[in-house]
Structure 1
Amino acid sequence: MTEVAFHFNAPDKLAYACRLLRKAAGMGSRVAVTAEADFLQRLDTALWTFSPLDFVPHATERQGQALLEASPVVLLGSVLDAPHQHVLLNLGESVPEGFERFERLIEVVSLDDADRLRARERWKHYAARGYAIERKDLVLKAA
């Protein structure tokens, strides 16, 4: 069964995603990232520019299957097209179709009230289907 974790209270969802993906890639993990198209485009740009000393190797679905399969981080509109099923990072507004194929699912939730409300609905979805949910409060971690 997929391990589900919610990372709550991210002050900047985009910046947190960049740091999380940098750490995952550095540890050799393979991560599929899903979100709405505009957020994925901003993330693609941010992964090139968020740190002058770091590069997070990644690919988007428009770059072709061979590059997707070779990249530790893939940015996808639909996870049904993911070249692996290791870790899924959901930065989107809804439950990703096909999430249950992944070993692990990470949901990142910002401080925005609308984002938090949508995250509660996703939490209810997973809990109703029997998934044990790990909660990681980023505010408490920073303290």
Structure 2
Amino acid sequence: MARIDFHSNVSDKLEYACRLTRKIWSATQEGELVRHIVIVGEKADLKKLDDLLWSFSGTDFLPHCYIEDEAAAETPIVLTDNFASPSLNAIPHADVMIHLGMRMPQDVPALVGRFPRIVEVVTVNEAERLAGRERFKAYRELGHELYNFDQSKS
């Protein structure tokens, strides 16, 4: 079973995704393998996130690329708009998936079989909150371990 974390009531999902990605990626301990992260979202959001990841911090470098790039297999942070992209099979990334979109993955068993940890980012936008609730229910019905981290208090 995968661990699925819902980060709810996020005010700015792209900035939050940058902070979360930095936290997960930098949590690698000395001597451990670097944690690999796949970020799934809508194309327009990924374009903005790509730009933001380059300028997010003056001191932190978050190496990333799109899944179609030839360097994707060696890059620890990969961006894609497709849960079932054939390119996923060509990369070794399998640590964490961060989902920024609203749609439920079509093949949840395959997804949780590949990623031991999935993070769902849900904003304060009403449509995104409702879609997040539906995904939460669907994951729960499938028997997954769910955690909610309410960001309204942050």
TM-score calculated relative to the size of structure 1: 0.90
Q: Secondary structure at the match of 2:5?
A: strand
| 1:120 corresponds to | 133
**Cα separation, 2, equivalents of 1:21 and 1:124:** 25
**Cα separation, 2, equivalents of 1:79 and 1:85:** 13
| 2:121 corresponds to | 108
Q: Secondary structure at the match of 2:68?
A: helix
Letter in 2 for 1:99: L
Residues 93-138 of structure 1: CA distance to partner in whole angstroms, max 9, x if unpaired? 1123442221110001111111101101111110111112101111
| 1:12 corresponds to | 12
Q: Quick check: which one's helix share is greater?
A: 1
Q: Within 5 A, what are the aligned runs for 1:67-82?
A: 67-80=71-84, 81-82=87-88
Q: Secondary structure at the match of 2:118?
A: strand
**Cα separation, 1, equivalents of 2:125 and 2:12:** 10
Letter in 1 for 2:151: L
**Cα separation, 1, equivalents of 2:36 and 2:83:** 13
| 1:89 corresponds to | 98
Matched, 1:41 2:50: no
Are 1:10 and 1:138, in contact at CA under 8 Å, matched by a contact in 2? yes
- How far 1:25 sits from its partner (Å)? 1.7
- How far 1:61 sits from its partner (Å)? 2.0
**Cα separation, 2, equivalents of 1:23 and 1:57:** 13
Letter in 1 for 2:6: F
**Cα separation, 2, equivalents of 1:34 and 1:96:** 10
Are 1:36 and 1:77, in contact at CA under 8 Å, matched by a contact in 2? yes
Residues 62-106 of structure 1: CA distance to partner in whole angstroms, max 9, x if unpaired? 312xx1111111001223333222111000111234422211100
| 2:67 corresponds to | 61
| 2:36 corresponds to | 30
Structure 1 unaligned spans of 5+: none
Residues 36-69 of structure 1: CA distance to partner in whole angstroms, max 9, x if unpaired? 11111111111001222222111102312xx111
RMSD in angstroms over aligned alpha carbons? Answer: 1.4
